[in-house]
Structure 1
Amino acid sequence: MTAPLLEAVGLRKAYGANVAVSDLSFTLEAGGALGLVGESGSGKTTTARMLIGLEQPDRGGILVRGKPLAHASRLERAKAVQIVFQDPYLSLDPRLTIRAALDDVLRLHGHPDRPGRIAELLDQVGLGEREAAARPRGLSGGQRQRAAIARALAVEPGVLVLDEAVSALDVSIQAQVLNLLADVRRETGVGIVFVSHDLAVVRYLCDEALVLHRGVVVERGPVEALLQDPRDPYTRLLISSVPHTGWSPEEISKQRRALIRG
């Protein structure tokens, strides 16, 4: 059998007495899209940081195409898994133009045709010559996020991790970036791990989702099934927390207190 594109096996990460992630396992096939859903403190961002090597699990392992990521070199890891953060300033050098930032990545990885690849990337994410010549501060939030996505895609990674990558954007810009990501997934076959607190956004991009609460997976399955028939009280709380007709903040607070006591 062919190994999954990405496999997390029994991941655990603690900071002192606080267990951020406990016994987390999942697989992702090539071209698949998996959502990691939860509020702040659920363990989803810690998981994302372990996937790209910014944090090392205390226990468990991560494999890409059957090979342990822990044994990979820095360049091999970058080729396997890339991340796009909520704030693109975390990945874009404010001193460099977007073109220079892309060229820097491609030069580091020894790409044989850097100008050609840069042109391809800019076209892929919908940026033109003006944006390519600008520094990050000269771009809008949506343009910066497109540039960050281009930078992450530059070395053609197997897995793209998106950590709340659209949550800071206006709704209309969110839709544009989500459409871009859907196109990238379809055209390249990259596997996507989409980290978000918003199941509605996850629904647009992902096939399956894991719902994390206090570092533990409380529910997993196809996104549509989770939205239409949530089984765990925490999943129901996440869905009911989204403002809608008849929405009651007091009722949400009551549910949250009951969940904490439980």
Structure 2
Amino acid sequence: MTTDPGLPLQVSGLRKTYPAGRTPVVAVDDLSFSLRPGGALGIVGESGSGKTTTARMLVGLERPDQGEILVQGTPLAARTRGRAARLARAKAVQMVFQDPYLSLDSRLSIGATVDGVLRLHGSLSPSDRAARVRELLAQVGLGDREAAALPRRLSGGQRQRAAIARALAVEPTVLVLDEAVSALDVSVQAQVLNLLSDIRRDTGIGLVFVSHDLAVVRYVCDEALVMYRGRTVEHQPVADLLASPRHPYTRLLLASVPRLGWNPDAIAGQRRDLAATDTPAA
């Protein structure tokens, strides 16, 4: 891979296996992609496609067996030793999970949670931190009432907004969102997606949006990478992928969206045919 410090994120040849008896399970196989400045890439696939494993490797929760991840041309260490290395990796890539409780301390108010991140990653005075907390929460549409509340006192959409504010507090280069709106009502999904689009426009942060929902990816992303059984089977601009999908699995994903005249039996047949042929990426 040619290193390009102008690209927020470059991924080359990622492979991840898990032990399973004599034959390891391959979760991700030879995955490569790059994210342009201010870009938004959707990684799409159903359960078991390898997309969540990919997200976890990007933020260091899983170590790849092979391959390389670079942020602005700098390799992310597979192992981070010492406080400084861990903080540097966290500042490079942040993650927003499907369940905000994974990143929000149930014992702390939302304001205290964001303040804790600022204390950990910076040297602002208490008054400057307080101002920055208010700024970050306002950026995601939360105010003083939500800042003083514990996570359990907020709605699902408010908790996800708080999780996004927490991730933005370190001013990361790349924000990875793993099914970040899948547990929300449709109206709340739209609000959070609009928020992400605004943040991307205002900050220039790169987004990697992991989802099984092509409608969500279409709304927020420029490009989409489709994964099937750990491999990339298609990577196109979103508009092209939706208009002219090249791979049978992409066509299956699009056909699986319920609509007028939808035939689930026909979809099941296509799925069986695809499993039988298991066509690799071109």
Confirm or deny a common fold (TM above 0.5): yes
**Deviation digits for residues 47-106 of structure 1 (CA, Å, limit 9, x no counterpart):** 000000000000001000100111761000011000000000011010000000001110
Distance verdict in 2 for CA 1:154–1:172, change over 3 Å: same
Alpha-carbon distance in 1 for matches of 2:13, 2:136:
36
Q: Which residue of 1 aligns with 2:110?
A: 98
Corresponding residue for residue 86 of structure 2: 74
Alignment correspondent of 2:37 = 30
1:185-206, Cα deviation, whole Å (9 max, x unpaired): 0000000000000111100100
Deviations 1:4-36 (A, max 9, x none): 110001000000210000000000122100000
1:5 alignment counterpart:
8
Q: How does 1:152-167 map to 2 (within 5 A)?
A: 152-167=167-182
Partner of 1:84: 96
Unaligned runs of 5+ in 1: none
- Residue 186 (structure 2) aligns with: 171
1:2 positional shift:
4.4
Aligned residues: 262
Map of 1:46 onto structure 2: 53
CA distance in 1, matches of 2:13, 2:132: 38
Once the 2 structures are TM-superposed, how far is the Cα of residue 110 of structure 1 from its aligned partner? Answer: 2.1
**Residues 82-161 of structure 1: pairs in structure 2 closer than 5 A:** 82-112=94-124, 113-161=128-176
What does the per-residue CA deviation read over 1:157-204, in whole Å, with 9 as the maximum and x for residues that have no partner? 000000000000000000000000000000000000000001111001
Gaps of 5+ in 2: 278-282
Could you say what secondary structure the match of 1:172 adopts?
Answer: helix
The corresponding residue for 2:280 is none
What is the distance in 1 between the residues matched to 2:89 and 2:5?
20
Whether the aligned pair in 1 keeps the contact of 2:94 and 2:167 (CA below 8 Å) is yes
Match of 1:221 in 2: 236
Output the CA distance in 1 between the equivalents of 2:172 and 2:129. Answer: 16
**Structure 1 stretches of 4+ moved >6 Å:** none
Q: Distance in 1 between matches of 2:86 and 2:5?
A: 25
Q: 1:249 offset after TM fit, Å?
A: 1.0
Shift of 1:251: 1.0
Structure 2 residue identity aligned to 1:86: Q
Q: Does structure 1 residue 193 correspond to structure 2 residue 208? A: yes
Asked if structure 1 preserves the Cα contact closer than 8 Å seen for 2:50 and 2:230, the reply is yes
8 Å Cα contact 2:134-2:144 kept in structure 1: no
Who is 1:249 aligned against? Answer: 264
- Per-residue deviation, residues 214-259 of structure 1 (Å, max 9, x unmatched): 0000001100111110010000000011111111111111111111
Q: What amino acid maps onto 1:149 in structure 2?
A: I
C-alpha displacement at 1:3, in angstroms?
Answer: 3.4
Identical counterparts, % of pairs: 71
**Which residue of 199, 203, 228 maps to 2:218?**
203
Question: Residue 69 of structure 2: SS of its match in structure 1?
Answer: strand
Shift of 1:123: 0.7
CA RMSD in angstroms comes to: 1.0
- Secondary structure (helix, strand or coil) at the match of 1:70 reads coil
Structure 1 residues 91-149: Cα deviation after superposition (integer angstroms, max 9, x where no partner): 10100000000011100112412111101101100001111111110000000000000
TM-score, with normalisation over the residues of structure 2? Answer: 0.91
Q: 3-state DSSP class of the match of 2:77? A: helix
Structure 1 length normalisation: TM-score? 0.98
